[in-house]
């Protein structure tokens, strides 16, 4: 029986797309969004943060609210006050009649799913957020994340845990719907056809509270998370059943997956899948007698969302950098602005690498930039359910 039973968790599932051609030709954006191709116009739109654009499929597309930027260490600390150069996105909220739920009664999960799309001048990221309250087993979470991605060598049985407008669906169908809406409302048909998916269904799962005692993942004293629970945490991360024999192999290279934080918190990370964070003992940045459990949860939730934002932005910028390194400029990637995006990416990377207050997982994600040894996800096959 597992000694680690989460009672509060947050799960973020997202993809990342690039669409670079419109940067060099604003006519490839719909007229409402031609400002995306101009840093000056984009910054002006961001400064007018009360300006909301409505489209056929989105009830609002607007800049991040200033209050959210101030409340987020990640967005606030980006090294430029200008939104275009800091790579701050617009936020697109789908039409009110879109219904997305996570309903898996056999796993003890029945909850609404919040959806939004981050829109950058160079592409977009679809985000699904699930707030899990109440007891849920690690094995149930493993079944859930296995439905995001499966390993062909040892797949789990398919699990249609999501419902889109009341009908059972896979996560890929939700991403497909929202991706099609972005393509229809933001881009010219030609540009939409040139969009590339660079990351599909990456997830950040954060365990914020549990009924079991929080122990470190790795400890020289011997008091650490139970071996069976460690295997389950890796099962959640990798999308297939990790046996104790598998775990022994994985833990021969602990720093390959495990990243320690303060306060016994840690993350398990694999760039092709996602990150599992154990933040049960994470304390607020500023200790005070008034700190409540809610504030401690908020500290963990804030860190989780910052990691998700960091990962999505890092994957997108690294994909652009990789395209340039492969001489994609000769294939129609615009030279006019891509150099500025790459410079922004490097500035952001260096900024966070030098910041002693940044958690190590951010540094790992931004380490993707200028790191050729990172193995990127395989190209999506044309007959795969990932292909939009």
CB 318 within 8 A of CB 346: no
Q: Which of 45, 31, 40, 117 is nearest to 337 (CA)?
A: 40
- Helix 227-238 vs helix 138-146: angle between axes, to the nearest 10 degrees? 20
Question: 377: pLDDT confidence band, cut at 50, 70 and 90?
Answer: very low
pLDDT in tens, 309-328: 988 988 888 888 777 766 55
Q: Is 192 helix (H, G, I), strand (E, B) or coil?
A: helix
Phi, psi of 258 (to 5 degrees): -95, 130
Phi, psi of 155 (to 5 degrees): -75, 150
On the question of pLDDT at 357 being above 80, the answer is: no
pLDDT of residue 266: 87
The two tokens of residue 251 are 């833990």
On the question of pLDDT at 289 being above 60, the answer is: no
pLDDT in tens, 8-27: 999 999 999 999 888 878 88
Q: Which of 324, 329, 376, 370 is nearest to 348 (CA)?
A: 370
- DSSP H helices, the chain, are 39-47, 66-71, 73-76, 83-86, 138-146, 171-186, 189-193, 227-238, 244-250, 254-257, 293-325, 335-353, 360-366
The two tokens of residue 33 are 């969004």
Considering the entire predicted model, what is its pTM? 0.86
For the segment 347-356, the average pLDDT, to the nearest whole number, is 65
CB 231 within 8 A of CB 348: no
Most confident of 62-76, 137-151, 184-198: 184-198
Least confident of 219-223, 224-228, 305-309: 219-223
pLDDT of residue 31: 92
Exposure string over 41-53, b if 16+ CB within 10 A, otherwise e:
ebbebbeeeeeeb
Phi, psi of 129 (to 5 degrees): -120, 130
For the segment 132-143, the average pLDDT, to the nearest whole number, is 92
């Amino acid at each position: 029986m597992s000694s680690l039973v989460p009672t509060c968790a947050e799960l973020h599932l997202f993809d990342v797309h690039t669409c670079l051609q419109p940067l060099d030709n604003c006519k490839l954006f719909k007229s409402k969004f031609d400002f995306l191709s101009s840093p000056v116009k984009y910054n002006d739109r961001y400064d007018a943060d009360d300006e909301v654009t409505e489209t056929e499929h989105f009830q609002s597309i607007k800049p991040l609210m200033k209050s959210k930027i101030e409340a987020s260490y990640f967005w606030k600390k980006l090294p430029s006050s200008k939104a275009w150069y800091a790579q701050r996105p617009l936020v697109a909220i789908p039409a009110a009649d879109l219904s997305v739920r996570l309903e898996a009664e056999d796993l003890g999960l029945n909850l609404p799913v919040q959806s939004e799309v981050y829109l950058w001048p160079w592409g977009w990221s679809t985000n699904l957020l699930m707030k899990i309250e109440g007891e849920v087993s690690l094995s149930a979470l493993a079944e859930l994340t296995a439905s995001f991605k499966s390993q062909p060598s040892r797949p789990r049985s398919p699990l249609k845990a999501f419902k889109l407008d009341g009908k059972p669906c896979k996560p890929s169908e939700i991403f497909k719907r929202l991706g099609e809406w972005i393509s229809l409302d933001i881009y010219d048909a030609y540009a939409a056809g040139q969009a590339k998916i660079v990351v599909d269904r990456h997830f950040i799962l954060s365990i914020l509270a549990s009924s079991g005692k929080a122990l470190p993942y790795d400890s020289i004293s011997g008091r650490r998370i139970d071996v069976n629970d460690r295997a389950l945490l890796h099962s959640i991360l990798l999308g297939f059943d990790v046996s104790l024999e598998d775990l022994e192999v994985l833990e021969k290279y602990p720093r390959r997956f495990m990243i320690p934080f303060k306060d016994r918190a840690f993350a398990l990370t694999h760039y092709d899948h996602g990150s599992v964070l154990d933040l049960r003992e994470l304390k607020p940045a500023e200790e005070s007698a008034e700190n409540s459990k809610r504030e401690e949860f908020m500290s963990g939730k804030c860190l989780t969302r910052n990691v998700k934002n960091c990962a999505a932005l890092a994957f997108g910028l690294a994909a652009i950098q990789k395209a340039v390194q492969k001489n994609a400029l000769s294939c129609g990637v615009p030279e006019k602005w891509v150099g500025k995006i790459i410079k922004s990416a490097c500035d952001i990377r260096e900024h966070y690498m030098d910041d002693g207050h940044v958690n190590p997982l951010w540094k790992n994600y931004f380490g993707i930039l200028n790191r050729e040894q990172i193995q990127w996800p395989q190209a999506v096959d044309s007959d795969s359910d990932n292909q939009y």
